[in-house]
Structure 1
Amino acid sequence: MKISDLIITPLAFADPPLLNSTGVHEPLALRTVVQLVVDGGLVGLGEGSGEREVLDRLELVRAAIIGQSVFDTSAIELIVAAVLGPDVTPLQKRAVFSIIEVACLDAQGKLLGVPVVDLLGGAVRSEVPYSGYLFYKWAGHPDAVADGWGEALDPAGIIDQARRMIDLHGFRSLKLKGGVFPPDEEIAAMRALAGAFPGMPLRIDPNGAWSVETSKYVARELAGVLEYLEDPTLTTAAMAEVAAVASMPLATNMCVISPETVPEAVRLNAVQIVLSDHHYWGGLRHTRELGAICDTFGLGMSMHSNSHLGISLAAMTHVAAATPNLAYACDTHYPWNSLDDVVTTPFEFVDGALAVPAGPGLGVGLNEAKLAELSRRYVESGRTTRADTAYMRLVDPAYDPTLPRF
């Protein structure tokens, strides 16, 4: 079956004011949905970054993949690399190919009448656990009414947010996005979570906002509290210094981002858990390969998340179900963004987990009316890129995102 078209639709959907080490989420998050059409009109769905540069690159490769077999993703990957050329980095090429590859796998599954997980080697688990993703946040965006989640700027607010996440979705592990407030305040929040939810696996991710010395301090203070500590500091070498004294594993999606970055991390014992992300690693099959690499070197594996909708969540669930050593609950932003989903039946977590969609393909349909609505919102917004720092500076003009912050 040949590819006859690639329909590329940029979207803008509602996002709360979630704080992080570089600023705060804007009222609208950007995303791209592709519809890959094959002979006969069957459509495969893909989702990825909504950055303008990604859209432009998708447009560049669109004509080149038309006429290719939907089953020949290796050839399509080579075409993407060749069309984008040497000035585009491998990471940027993978971000483009991953969207197309997921759409190809969705189409393949529909053609064969099987779920995508079967195309990845079959399911080793029937459901995939996810972690409740907690954020410091404002009550609402400036000049807007408070959202339903309310304010979370201290341990009490984080506890309230966690309790609501658990009540709504049944999450059995929790992660806090850190790097926002001085470390002692975030240490207090993690201790408060441990006290409120005894035995709950806990994580914190400051996105490299801490120096090596601060990271060591936090690791000491949270010994016995954390399941793992994610990206406390920048660079593989700095992570290795922290790992040498930390009692808990270190996890990363910032210093191990490609096969080429694995050897140094292993040599230095800088990380013990790699956070996969098919949007960055070049699709579902390459993510499955990452699982084999981690298994070879005795590294644990979990999954990173960014603001996303249900097509990405379906893809994440299929690949997590097919990766034996992806043994930690996966990250997801979905509870923050699900009200604007473009799938016909939004996902519902049961006890913090998702059953693997039965298929065929990804097992999701496309809500055409919602797609059109979010596409119009994208055009009307005039937005083309994510700008957490610029948005924060509307409230705090002196805000400095330089890392490490503490």
Structure 2
Amino acid sequence: MRIREITVTPVAFRDPPLLNASGVHEPWALRSVVEVVTDEGVTGLGETYGDLAHLERLHSAAQLLIGIEVHAHHALYAAVATSVGGNVVSDQHGLTGAGSQQKTVDAVFSPFEVACLDIRGKAAGLRVADLLGGPVRDAVPYSAYLFYKWAAHPGAEPDRFGEALDPDGIVAQARLFIEEHGFGSIKLKGGVLPPDREIEAVLALRDAFPGLPLRLDPNAAWTPETSVRVGKALAGVLEYLEDPTPGIDGMAEVARQVPMPLATNMCVVTHDHLPPAVAAGAIGVLLTDHHYWGGLLRSSHVASLCGTFGIELSMHSNSHLGISLAAMTHLAAATPDLTHACDTHTPWQDGQDVVVPGALRFTGGAVPVPEGPGLGVELDRDALARMHQQYLDCGIRRRDDTAYMRTFSSDFVPKRAHW
């Protein structure tokens, strides 16, 4: 089967005012939906970022993919690398580590690879998880992903999630997510308030939900010294501490002095980062993300490599829709060494999606592997058209949490090794 046609559709969906070290989420989140059609009329789906620069790279790559076999993984990757060219570093929003040429190629390639795996699964009557070696779990556990947040975007009506700017608000948010989705672990996005106040929030979560694994992710907002202090203060409380400070060297310094593993999706974001991180003992947990690790196959290879060096695994999330959730679930289901529940923003999308309801659901905090062939999800054409119109109307073409925050707080500075 050869690729006959590719359609890339940018979409926008409503996003709450979630706070982080770089600022605050804008009212609209951007994504791109990729449809790959073969000469036999089989269609596969992929999903990726929606920033304008990334969209332009997707369109350039799509032109070179026409006519290539959907099974020809290496030829597809080479065509994408050619389309990207040299000395290109994509925008990474400040929350997913430094950009690089390799990371840019992998991010452009990922949605096309997922779509081709979707096609291959449909043609063979197999799930994508089967193509990745077969599922080792029937359902993939996800974690409640908590954020400090405003009650509403300025000038808008309060959203149903409510304000969360103190420990009581964070606990209430966790309780809502656990009641609705059954999550069995909790992650707090930190780097927003001074570290001692975020310690208080974690301790409040421990007291409210005894026995549930807890994580804290300040997105490298702390110095190594502060990271060590916080790590020692939360000894026996955190499952892991994620990206407390910038860089492999800084993480290694902290890792030597704190009692819990350090996790990352910032200091190790491409294959080239693994050797120095392993040598320095910088991380104990890698949060993979197929959107910038080069798709599902390359992510599975990274997972195997991490197992060799004793690095545990979880999965990173950004604001995403159902195609991504399906791909994440298939990958996680077929990854034997996955040792921690995965991140997901899905609850924050509050039912907004481009896939037909029913194939994806949370049961006891986990998403069962979709039963249909390929990814097991179907595109909702009406929802796609509506979200594309929202993209055209919203006026946002690049995610910029910092610029949006500065419209309300002109002196705001992104927090990197700030405290």
Alignment correspondent of 1:41: 41
Letter in 1 for 2:368: A
Is 1:275 matched up with 2:287? yes
CA RMSD, aligned part only?
0.8
Pairing of 1:64-213 with structure 2 (within 5 A):
64-88=64-88, 89-213=101-225
Cα distance in 2 for residues equivalent to 1:62 and 1:197: 48
Cα distance in 2 for residues equivalent to 1:175 and 1:83: 38
Is 1:243 matched up with 2:255? yes
Letter in 1 for 2:390: R
> Can you list the C-alpha shifts for 1:192-219, whole angstroms capped at 9, x where unaligned?
0000000110000000000111101100
Alignment correspondent of 1:221: 233
Q: CA deviation at 1:309?
A: 0.3
Unaligned runs of 5+ in 1: none
Task: Report the 3-state secondary structure (helix = DSSP H, G, I; strand = E; otherwise coil) of the residue aligned with 1:227.
Answer: strand
| Candidates 384, 406, 410, aligned match of 1:393 | 406
Q: CA deviation at 1:338?
A: 4.2
8 Å contact from structure 2 (residues 243, 251) kept in 1: yes
Alignment correspondent of 1:374: 387
Q: CA deviation at 1:41?
A: 2.2
Alignment correspondent of 1:4: 4
8 Å contact from structure 2 (residues 191, 415) kept in 1: no
Is 1:384 matched up with 2:388? no
Identity %: 55
8 Å contact from structure 2 (residues 23, 405) kept in 1: yes
Q: Give the TM-score normalised by structure 2.
A: 0.96
Cα distance in 1 for residues equivalent to 2:46 and 2:146: 27
Task: Report the 3-state secondary structure (helix = DSSP H, G, I; strand = E; otherwise coil) of the residue aligned with 1:133.
Answer: strand
Letter in 1 for 2:301: E
Task: Report the 3-state secondary structure (helix = DSSP H, G, I; strand = E; otherwise coil) of the residue aligned with 1:395.
Answer: coil
Letter in 2 for 1:112: A
Greater mean alpha carbon deviation, residues 393-402 or residues 114-123? 393-402
Alignment correspondent of 2:95: none
Alignment correspondent of 1:30: 30
Cα distance in 2 for residues equivalent to 1:274 and 1:195: 27
Q: CA deviation at 1:359?
A: 2.2
8 Å contact from structure 1 (residues 116, 359) kept in 2: no
Cα distance in 2 for residues equivalent to 1:338 and 1:312: 16
Aligned residues: 406
Alignment correspondent of 2:351: 339
Cα distance in 2 for residues equivalent to 1:123 and 1:380: 41
Cα distance in 2 for residues equivalent to 1:358 and 1:327: 23
Cα distance in 2 for residues equivalent to 1:402 and 1:299: 27
Cα distance in 2 for residues equivalent to 1:133 and 1:365: 26
> Can you list the C-alpha shifts for 1:95-133, whole angstroms capped at 9, x where unaligned?
010010000000111111110001101111111100000
Q: CA deviation at 1:402?
A: 4.5
> Can you list the C-alpha shifts for 1:335-363, whole angstroms capped at 9, x where unaligned?
00142100001532111001111120000
Cα distance in 1 for residues equivalent to 2:302 and 2:350: 28
Instruction: Call closer, same or farther: CA 1:329–1:14 in 2, change over 3 Å.
Output: same
Is 1:56 matched up with 2:56? yes
Cα distance in 1 for residues equivalent to 2:53 and 2:23: 22
Unaligned runs of 5+ in 2: 89-100
